[in-house]
Amino acid sequence: MIRFFAIAVFMTVMFTIESSNAAGSQDSVTIIDSKHYSNVFGEVRNYRVFLPPGYFSNKDKRYPVIYFYHGWSQRYFGSGPDGYNHFEKGDDNKGDNIAAFVSENEVIVVKPDGYNRSVNEEYYLRPYNVGPVETSRQFPLYFPELVNQIDATYRTIPDRNHRAISGLSMGGFMSFWIGGKYPDLICAIGNFCGSAEFIVGPKDFPVEYRNIDLYKNYNGVKVRLNYGNEDFIRYYHRDLNKVWLQVMDNYEYEVYEAAHSTCGMGEMFSFLKSAFENPPAKPEKWNHIDVYPEFSVWNYTVKTDRDVPGFTVLEKVNQRGFRCAVRQHLPDGEILPFVNVSVITPPVYEKNTIYTLNDIDLITKKIRSYLVVSDDSGCLKIDFNGSLHEIGINRTDDAANISFGSYTIENMKYAKHKSDVRIRITLLNKGMKKGEGVKATLSAFRKSSVVSTGESFYNIIDINGTQKSTSDFVFRTLTDTTIIERFKLTITDRNNNSWTEYFEVPVFRGDLPVLNDYQVADGRKVIVAAKGAGADTLILGTGNGDGIANPGETISILVKDGDKLRRSEILSADDLLNVNGENKRLSDYWGTYDHVGGSAKYSAAVVSSSVKGDKTLSMVVEYWMPDAPDHIIKQGIVNLKVTGNDKTPPSVDWAKITGDNTIMIKLTDGSGIKQVGVRISLVNDPKVISSFILNNEGINGDRVNGDLIFSYKIPVKGFGFCNMEISASDSFDNKIEFKAPGIYVVH
């Protein structure tokens, strides 16, 4: 029986469904379709709410909330044209649906609308503005506003311990993305058959967001994935499990006899409900990775001026400090030091008090100690750039503050399965006193590996100093199936201080084949496998295009497998590749092949000009093979012969003029850049030309010395639409003349 009511808020429609599942109960589930004006979107947005039996009869009771994000081809109002979308009420999903769960559980379910079109735009089935990013609507940024709307309108328990998020397919992707972005707003995440990755973020500089790389975002949140054994995305879920199960202790998954659907919906919602009954606490140390230039999490506010694709990575955050970097991609993409970063802490410090900040740049090895004063609320504002920084926050009388810095493998090029891997671990001290009698103890996070030598001494670590372990730690994997191992490092000193750190080590099969049938793309036109089972003709790399790796060239490795050349990602590179930290990763989109939104990755590696004579560089590469609907991941060793001399001029990655009239040009080269010049002419008057010599010395508009971004601040204010021509030469006098595409604005 369905009864309709009208209430006076935005023409809200409410109807009830008599419960057939609640043992003898005559009460009902109430479904409300409502809307509100969103300041984030600048428009009215819709949502559907499922209210449990007794909601209207018990005016004093409050309820936890599960937010559910629908998938492709659906809206907030009921089932879509595809069977996998039928999960709301009645016989949907064989009775295992939202209304059935709400009828037996004291919980509210909210289903927001993922529609991404304005009133006058053509109707389109793809929601959420992801893969590709087409509009300025940012659905993750809307979530806190929606939460406030629901908490203000319905009798919710308005805290993170009684709030969860879930979703199906594209909505499953959104549940992982939004839940990982706001672990301070929710306590649990449930993903049904979620897509593996999409292009997301700001419209003008989106990024490739892969769930498999984002495991650090889920500190303090319970996470579950449900998928079917016939789900067309199941192979990506398998890849995810190989990583997440190794590095997370708060993640679980279940496979059902099902296709792409809300399989096990009642079990999933029960998992979320159990999190309400036993919510995870805020972690003592937390990590967070965000695609947006500005964000807030756990009451920290982070602001950057990044206007290129990238990720802000915060790690090991607590009251004594944190680690931070801005990267082009995850997990180890190129560092972006030209980005300015500000972190504003919550009010956890003494008010109007002087603190000493120790800032260790792990890339440049520069150390800076300076004083900051907390504000009237007890907040600190900390400024630095996008390089890899370890920040220590100290009172004058604080003790040592020891932290994990890095590790090196001592007895092999990369960690191999079922072999004794010897590593040395470098610690750093970002505190106010020397670390004395420092000892570190290593243990395995999972039973897939064992640590046979797990203790080393460091003795004294000076303030702002680093110290490598005096002896090797030794571990061995017990299987040849893991691709990453996580370790726990417990650090103590003689003053009874202790610190706990975690880090991960990629591991590879010890019997990787040597791949002899490969080609080098160094600026030449090649026919390569593309889009899964297809092929494409592309120009890859930068160089003379002769197919021979030379110093100074940017190359891609093409492995011959089957009847095609396949682009490969370099997973373990020689030290003479990417010596300036370039680590460029590109993507071959497979969405038209497997309809998931994922992509195969491949590298564009810069060969150092310091290579002299004939030299062989060894590396581990990975590439994908199609096996519909699967992808087969293959790895092998490439021994790359480099010969000749550097004849390759610099290449321009990007160019821009910022709002304060600073010209910024990012270049790539295997040697040092000697000179960069720019000629600017007005679009409507090509005869008006200004010429400038740019610098990379941290002066006259340049932000960071030596980061291969050359800059110049135009001194004369004005306005005009301009063309830009760039000239550059490297230390071998290789020259380039380049007309930058597009129109630039001088302010």
**What's the pLDDT band for 12 if we cut at 50, 70, 90?**
low
Hey, what are 92's tokens? 């949907």
Q: Could you read off the pLDDT of 535-550 as tens digits, one per residue?
A: 999 999 999 999 999 9
| Phi-psi group of 331: left, alpha or beta (phi > 0 → left; psi -120 to 50 → alpha; rest → beta) | alpha
Determine how β-strand 455-461 pairs with β-strand 518-521: unpaired
How far, in Å, CA of 619 to CA of 602, rounded?
A: 13
**What's the pLDDT band for 5 if we cut at 50, 70, 90?**
very low
Mean pLDDT of 717-731: 90
Which amino acid does the sequence have at 267? E
Statement: residue 18 has pLDDT above 60: no
Q: In what order do the strands lie in the sheet with 43-51?
A: 2-7, 12-18, 28-38, 43-51, 108-112, 65-69, 163-168, 188-192, 222-228, 251-256
Statement: residue 6 has pLDDT above 60: no
Hey, what are 377's tokens? 């609320």
pLDDT given at position 15: 60
- Reduced DSSP (H G I as helix, E B as strand, rest coil) percent helix, strand, coil of the chain, to 5: 10, 45, 45
Q: For tokens 């695609």, what's the residue?
A: 291
- Would you give the DSSP letter of residue 594? H
Q: Could you read off the pLDDT of 135-176 as tens digits, one per residue?
A: 999 999 999 999 999 999 999 999 999 999 999 999 999 999
Burial (CB < 10 A; 0-12, 13-18, 19+), residue 713, is middle
Q: How far apart are the first and last CA of the chain?
A: 65
pLDDT given at position 400: 96
Mean pLDDT of 11-23: 50
Hey, what are 672's tokens? 């040092």
Least confident residue range of 310-319, 452-461, 714-723: 714-723
How far, in Å, CA of 527 to CA of 671, rounded?
A: 29
pLDDT given at position 2: 36
Least confident residue range of 74-88, 150-164, 485-499: 74-88
CA distance readout (Å), 716 to 19, 93, 661, 664: 73, 66, 9, 16
Statement: residue 11 has pLDDT above 60: no
**What's the pLDDT band for 484 if we cut at 50, 70, 90?**
very high
pLDDT given at position 17: 58
Q: DSSP characters for 246-272?
A: HH-SSEEEEEES-SSS-TTHHHHHHHH
How far, in Å, CA of 346 to CA of 299, rounded?
A: 5
Q: DSSP characters for 329-370?
A: STTTPPB-TTSEEEEE--S-S-TT-EEEEEEEETTT--EEEE
How far, in Å, CA of 130 to CA of 164, rounded?
A: 22
Q: Could you read off the pLDDT of 399-431 as tens digits, one per residue?
A: 999 999 999 999 999 999 999 999 999 999 999
How far, in Å, CA of 217 to CA of 645, rounded?
A: 45
pLDDT given at position 14: 66
**What's the pLDDT band for 26 if we cut at 50, 70, 90?**
very low
Q: How many residues does the chain have?
A: 747
Q: What is the dihedral of CA 636, 637, 641, 646, to 10 degrees?
A: 80
Statement: residue 9 has pLDDT above 50: no
94 Cβ partners below 8 Å, 6+ apart? none
Who wins on pLDDT, 60 or 685? 60
pLDDT given at position 121: 84
- The phi and psi torsions of 513 (rounded to 5 degrees) equal -75, 150
How far, in Å, CA of 422 to CA of 433, rounded?
A: 30
Mean pLDDT of the chain: 93
How far, in Å, CA of 654 to CA of 367, rounded?
A: 30
pTM: 0.94
Which stretches does DSSP call E strand in 590-658?
A: 599-606, 615-627, 630-642, 651-657
Hey, what are 620's tokens? 């581990």
Q: Could you read off the pLDDT of 585-634 as tens digits, one per residue?
A: 999 999 999 999 899 999 999 999 999 889 999 999 999 999 988 999 99
Helix (H) or strand (E) holding 383: strand 381-385
Hey, what are 192's tokens? 């049904």
**% of the chain surpassing 70 pLDDT:** 96
- Say whether 238 sits in a helix, a strand or coil: helix
**What's the pLDDT band for 685 if we cut at 50, 70, 90?**
confident
Q: Could you read off the pLDDT of 178-219 as tens digits, one per residue?
A: 999 999 999 999 999 999 999 999 999 999 999 999 999 999
Contact 273, 162 (CB under 8 A): no
Count CB-CB contacts under 10 A for residue 262. 34
